[in-house]
Structure formats: structure tokens, C-alpha cells
Amino acid sequence: MYSNKAFAEVSSREEQDVLNYIQGVSAIKKKFLKKALQNFHAISNSPDFKNLKNLKLGQLHLMMENYDEAISYYLKWEDSSLSTNKVLKKNGYHNLGLSYLHKKDYKNAKKYFDKELKLVNDTDTLEIITNKMELANVYYNQYLDETAIPLFVEAYQLAKSFSNIELKQNTSKNLAVVEKNRENFKESVDYYIEYNKWKDSIWNADKIWELTERDKQLAIARKQQEIALQNEKLKRQNIQRKGLVIGASGLLIFIGFLGYFYKKLIKKNKLIITQREELEIANKTKDYLFSVVSHDLRSPINTLKKVHNKLMVQIENEDMLGMQNTANTAIEITEDTFHLLNNVLHWSLEQNNQLLFEQGTYPLQQLVEQTLINFEGIIETKEITLLSELDNEILVNVDKESLKIILRNLFDNAIKYTEEKGTITVKTGIVANNQCYIEIADTGIGIPEERLLKINALRDITIDKIDRSKGVGLGLLLCQTLIKKNKGSLLIESELNKGTKIKVLLPWVSA
């Protein structure tokens, strides 16, 4: 049952081989021989399983009395049996000998029984007796009585000093048959008497076990009766104590109720305080977003209004070149405004824990290239030279969508503040401490030193510490927040009128 469940989850060939072996062995134990055959045939011929597979298939065909098939599989096993352990080798040689014995190929039967005997320890009496009986049967079936009978006798003598009653019974029965065939009837009768004596011993042992089991049940019944009497006595004593216990319990329950209501009151107060703090943060977030929208949207909307008025004049004057330039300006303003609204949305969702965040392992080059595609048009329009040095083997452990938000903001800033025919360089690489980096360098106007200090001071920003008068845009605030959430960091270097270099450090996953 459990191996069937496991089959639905494994994928490698080795795991499938192990499960087929487990099912095959279990099927043999349950005597489901056809099921076992299916499982062992399904095992691959890899070096780890080939020998075990041939051994088990040989055993199965011997049990099904397909002796030719059994011999075929055991011989395949023997060809590569050097690594087989001693116990399995003994079993293999023994079963191969039995298969040949059933085929009346006495020469090969003896050969493999002899091989088995060489592996048997001198102290292992059970295996020695069994092996000698098998060899004796080989000789006896070939009418080689002079060789067979001494082996029967030797097995019988060993069994007499051994504790296994079934072996004593089998060896005495063998000699009874042998002496009967030799017409030594008196000796044959003696051996039959001994055979029946051992048979009776097995029966008597079973009877003794049954009587012992019955005595045990009677002893248990008496003990249970004693326990019942003792329990009755204890019950009477417990009734006498109940009065005192009930009074004490009532007092404890009353104290317990007081404690419970006190804890509930404290918990309720904590919940109210937490909800009040969350409400304050939510209000601050709302106020901040309103201030961003009112401040950052006023300027582009006013500009867009002027651009439209200018466009109307140019239409009246049929100034096609001017209309084209004005339309391009309007598109840029619209894209900036759209980008701002996206940032407002993402910031609002993140601050209210509604921004979906699922970390996974992704190729960094692919994420960077996918983000850059969105800026191909404006890069071409501004005739900016884009240089990229992206390592195609770096894997990062991040939330894919939040990293794209970060990259869109950084690329947007780099393009916005890089003048026409400037250069933007994008690099990726690996640093120490299981980190990789994305570096975006531009030849733009740069950041004043005072504003750069304010930006770098925002690494641990929270909503209740935000102050718009610091002059840091929402885009960089959002980048700092999302980079920190991805267990990374943001490093910015800039020189006025020479350009800006931004490096994002992220967790690196080794391949």
C-alpha cells in the first residue's frame, strides 16, 4: 500500500527499482507469485540491482516449478556473483542444486550442493544437516546407495544431538524408507517408530503450549478478580474524600474564572492598542500617498496642459515638425505620470501587506532583459548607448515581480537623467557572502551630495518616519523597501554632472 503511494511521487529509475523490489518481496511473502514476477521483471538491469533481480526471479520460478527458467536465472546470477554476500550465495547455490535435482541432473545438483557446503560454517548444524540430506538424495536417486546411506546416517546422527524436532523427524523417516527399500524391515520399523515418536513430540509440544496458555488465562482471570476487589475498596475511600475535594475544587474553579477573565481583558486591551497603532500607520500612509499624488501629479498635469495648448497653436499654424516634438514631449510626460501612479499603487499595496510576495529561484539575466524590453523605445529615441555585461549562469532567490518593480524604477531614473547620446551600462556578477549584484551606471546629470546623503539614510525607512521635505522620490523609497524585503541592499555612488552608479545586492543561489 505504501509503496504504491510512493510510486506516484518518485521520478528516478533507482527509486522505482527499490519500490519494485519491495513490492516483489512482499508479494512472495503473500504467495502472489504472478504479481512478484511482474515487479521483478520491471526492475532495471543496473549493476546495483541485476544480481538481486536474477536471484529473486530464480527463486520465483523454482516455487512455480518452472525448473528450466529457475536454472537460467540462477546461472545468470552466478556469472556476476562475486559481490554477492555469503548468505545469499548459500541460498543461490542451494536453490540451483534443488532445481537440478528436480530435473534429475544429479551431476549438477551435487556440484551446487557441494558449493553450498563449502560456505557453511562448521558450527551451523542446521545447514550442515540439510545439505547432507540433499546430497544423500542426489546419490540415492542415482542408486549410489553406498555413498547415499552414510550421508543419511550422518545427518540422522547430527539431528539426534540437535534441538530441532522437525529435523529429527525427517532424518529418521529418510532412514526408515532406505531400510525398507533394502528389505531390512526390522531396522525400518525402528526408524518409523522413532519418526512417530518425534511426530508425537511435536503434537505434545503443541498440547503443552495449549495447556500453558489455558493456565495463563485462568491466572489472568484470578488477577483481574483481585484487581476488581481492590478497585471497589479504593472507590469507597474515594467517596469519603469527595466532599473535601469538591469544596477545594469549587474554590479553584472560582479563582480560575477570575484569572481567565483578567487574561481576556488584558488580551482585549492589547488588541485595541495594536489596532490603534495599525490605524495610525494606515492614516499616515493615506496622508503620505495623498501628498505624493497632489504634489507629484500637479506638475506633470500643468505641463501637459501647456503642451496641449502649444499643440493647438501648432495645429493652427500647420507646424508639423513642432507638432511631432510636442507630441513626443506629451508622451514622455504621460509615461512619467503612469510610472508615478504605478509606484503609488505598489507602495500602497506593500504598506498594507497586500502586495503578493513569493520568493523563488530565477535566472538573473532573464529578469534584467525582460525589464529592459519596456525601455527599448525611449532608449532608441534618446539615442542612448546601452552596454550590457550579463552573466547567464547567475541564479537569484527573490520575488520575481517585486524585483521587476525595482529594476523598472532604476532603469527609468537612469534613462530620465541621462541626456541624449549618453551611455548606460548594465552589469551582473557575484560577490562574496552568497551575494550577487546588478549594477546600473549612467553618464547622466548625477545626484547632488546633499540629496545623495538623504537617499542613503533611508535604508531603514518606515512609514511613520517619512518626511516629504527631504526631497526623495517615491520610486527610490519603494526600491529601498522592496530590496530590503528581498534580503538585499542598495548602494548608490554619484558625482554631479558625471553620472550615477547604482548597485543592487541580492541573495545568490549556487547552481
pLDDT (tens, 9 = 90+) of the chain, 511 residues, equals 888 888 888 888 888 889 889 999 999 888 888 888 888 888 888 887 888 888 888 889 888 889 899 989 888 888 887 777 877 887 888 888 888 888 888 888 888 878 877 877 766 666 777 777 777 777 777 777 777 777 777 777 777 766 667 777 777 777 788 877 877 787 778 777 877 776 666 555 454 445 455 656 666 777 777 787 888 888 887 787 777 778 777 778 878 888 888 888 888 888 888 888 767 765 665 565 555 555 556 656 767 777 788 888 888 888 888 888 888 777 777 776 676 666 666 656 666 666 677 889 999 999 999 889 888 888 888 899 999 999 988 999 998 888 988 998 899 889 988 999 999 999 999 987 789 999 999 999 998 888 888 777 765 445 444 444 344 567 788 788 888 888 999 999 999 889 999 999 999 888 6
Residue 388 included in any domain: yes
Which stretch of DSSP H or E encloses residue 442? strand 435-442
Helices (H) and strands (E) in the chain, counts: 17, 7
What per-residue confidence (pLDDT) applies to 468? 42
Q: Is residue 219 part of a domain?
A: no
Domain contains 379: yes
For the stretch 126-155, what's the b/e string if a residue is b when 16 or more beta carbons lie within 10 angstroms of its beta carbon?
Answer: ebbbbbbbbbbbbbbeeeeeeebbebbbbb
Contact 22, 42 (CB under 8 A): no
DSSP tag of 323 = H
Whether residue 151 contacts residue 189, with contact meaning beta carbons closer than 8 Å, is answered with no
Q: Look up the CATH number of the domain holding residue 452.
A: 3.30.565.10
Query: What is the pLDDT at residue 282?
Result: 59
The total domain count for the chain is 2
CATH code where residue 170 lies = 1.25.40.10
Is residue 261 in some structural domain?
A: no
For residue 328, is it within any domain? no
Q: Is residue 39 part of a domain?
A: yes
| DSSP, res 84 | S
The reply to whether 169 falls in a domain is: yes
What is the Cα gyration radius of the chain? Answer: 45
Please report the pLDDT score of residue 461 as a whole number: 47
Last residue of a domain, one of 152, 177, 210: 210
The cell numbers describing 391, all together, are 552573466
Instruction: Give the domain-ending residue among 210, 240, 259.
Output: 210
CA distances from 266 to 173, 252, 263, 280 (A): 88, 21, 5, 21
For residue 295, being part of any structural domain is answered with: no
| Domain endpoint, select from 158, 175, 210 | 210
Structural domain of 492: 356-509
